[in-house]
Amino acid sequence: MSTLPVIAAVDGSDDSLRALDWALDTARRREAPVTVVHVRHDTAWTQPGAPVVLPPPPEDDPVLAQARDRLTERADGIDAHYAALDGAPSALLPELGSEAQLLVLGSRGRGGFASLLLGSNGLAAARDADCPVVVVPRPGREVADALPQEPGPRVVVGLKVDSPDEGALGLAFTEATLRGARVQVIAAYPWPIRDWAMTGEMAMVMIDRTAVETDTRRLAEEIVAPVRARRPQVPAEVVAVPGDAAGALVAASPGAELTVVGRHRRRLLVRPRMLGSVTQAVLSHAASPVAVVPPAPEDGPTGSSNG
């Protein structure tokens, strides 16, 4: 059976070339081929009555030629393939996930999520692709209140103890293994805890914060334990933090090799219009590349939602 490639989607921008470099490095670590794809979204459009101008063949596509030149300098014998696709990127990019280990995109990084051509295209890929989608931000993205970190390579992963995402944990440990990194598991718990009072207003609930943090860490350790057993060579730490999960993941992202988040499971046949709030916030603000991991396929018609 052939090894699925790491797919890098390019558009000729500096952002997509950085993503191409990241994809190349990851493919080398995974001993996988690289497929470079240019989705030519505007080649099929012409004004009524105007002559149809056919796009250049893939071998003459200037964007792919730029990527080919870059890989010639850096590929070091990695098996590389190139493809030009004509159509709507928001439809074609997610479809690439069915034939890839990872789909890698670039980010414009201007206060929000925007990848190859339009923000909606990258969001569609991160939301709908069948494989993990990695978004590589521009360098120098600033993060307020970054968490102090010990030196050394690190992979960050978010964990909801009430609905753990095994796919996200698995990818985090896999990438840590390939990169000689440790895994930092961020388990956020709600604080302060509020409840509805009889007056209809929100009221503080008297709960011991230390006990909540201890319980959160204990549950997280139990969830992580089987993955640790499968990857005993990977150091892993669980960090229980109060408050907003997205803020904690963003604060942990500076200096990380990768920040991993899970994706909401679709409910029935309804296609979500957007990613979960935590996932979208991490994509918008994290300083490291971000991997969005799809939920595992379900055996039955219904299932819980993963954050």
Is the separation of the CB atoms in 143 and 253 below 8 Å?
yes
The contacts found for 294-302 with CB under 8 angstroms, 24 or more apart, are 294/97, 294/129, 294/130, 294/131, 294/132, 294/167, 294/263, 295/165, 295/167, 295/262, 295/263, 295/264, 295/265, 296/166, 296/167, 298/265, 301/268, 302/268
Does residue 286 sit in the same domain as residue 189? yes
Does residue 167 sit in the same domain as residue 49? no
Q: Is residue 289 part of a domain?
A: yes
> What is residue 121's predicted lDDT score, i.e. its pLDDT?
67
| Residue scoring higher pLDDT (305 or 57) | 57
> Shortest CA distance to 117 belongs to which of 85, 69, 70?
85
Is the separation of the CB atoms in 191 and 243 below 8 Å?
yes
Angle between helix 245-252 and 277-285 (nearest 10): 30
Which of 136, 169, 193 terminates a domain? The answer is 136
Beta bridge partners of 157: 185, 260
- What tokens does 197 get? 């009072």
Q: How many residues does the chain have?
A: 307
Is the separation of the CB atoms in 290 and 283 below 8 Å?
yes
Is a pLDDT exceeding 90 seen at residue 25?
A: yes
Does residue 66 sit in the same domain as residue 184? no
Is a pLDDT exceeding 50 seen at residue 302?
A: no
pLDDT band per the 50, 70, 90 thresholds, residue 208: confident
> Shortest CA distance to 251 belongs to which of 112, 168, 204, 243?
243
| Identity of the residue numbered 246 | A
| Identity of the residue numbered 303 | G
The Cα–Cα gap between 51 and 56 comes to: 15
Of the chain, the percentage scoring pLDDT greater than 90 comes to 51
| Residue scoring higher pLDDT (299 or 191) | 191
Instruction: Work out the number of other CB atoms within 10 angstroms of the CB of residue 252.
Output: 26
Least confident stretch, 36-40, 121-125, 143-147: 121-125
Q: What is the mean pLDDT of the segment spanning 158-185?
A: 95
The DSSP letter of residue 60 is G
Does residue 99 sit in the same domain as residue 175? no
In what helix (H) or strand (E) does residue 262 lie, and over which residues does it extend?
Answer: strand 258-262
Is the separation of the CB atoms in 248 and 96 below 8 Å?
no
Instruction: Work out the number of other CB atoms within 10 angstroms of the CB of residue 277.
Output: 13
Q: Phi, psi at residue 94, to the nearest 5°?
A: -60, -35
> What is residue 296's predicted lDDT score, i.e. its pLDDT?
78
pLDDT band per the 50, 70, 90 thresholds, residue 112: very low
- What tokens does 252 get? 């942990």
The structural domain count of the chain equals: 2
Does residue 127 sit in the same domain as residue 161? no
Q: CA separation (Å) from 302 to 152, 267, 305? A: 41, 7, 10
Is a pLDDT exceeding 60 seen at residue 105?
A: yes
> What is residue 280's predicted lDDT score, i.e. its pLDDT?
86
pLDDT digits (tens, 9 = 90+) for 34-73: 999 998 876 544 455 544 444 566 667 899 999 999 988 8
Specify the 3-state DSSP secondary structure of 157: strand
The Cα–Cα gap between 59 and 69 comes to: 12
The Cα–Cα gap between 249 and 120 comes to: 23
The Cα–Cα gap between 35 and 20 comes to: 10
| Residue scoring higher pLDDT (270 or 124) | 124
Q: Is residue 144 part of a domain?
A: no
Which of 136, 171, 195 terminates a domain? The answer is 136
Domain coverage including residue 81: 6-136
Does residue 199 sit in the same domain as residue 97? no
Specify the 3-state DSSP secondary structure of 82: strand
Least confident stretch, 59-68, 100-109, 217-226: 100-109
Q: What is the mean pLDDT of the chain?
A: 82
Does residue 24 sit in the same domain as residue 126? yes
Q: Is residue 304 part of a domain?
A: no
The CATH code of the domain that includes 236 is 3.40.50.12370
Does residue 28 sit in the same domain as residue 111? yes
Does residue 108 sit in the same domain as residue 175? no
Which of 110, 136, 162 terminates a domain? The answer is 136
Q: Checking DSSP bridges between strand 194-196 and strand 202-204, what pairing results, if any? A: antiparallel
Is a pLDDT exceeding 90 seen at residue 301?
A: no
Q: Phi, psi at residue 8, to the nearest 5°?
A: -110, 125
Q: What is the mean pLDDT of the segment spanning 70-97?
A: 87
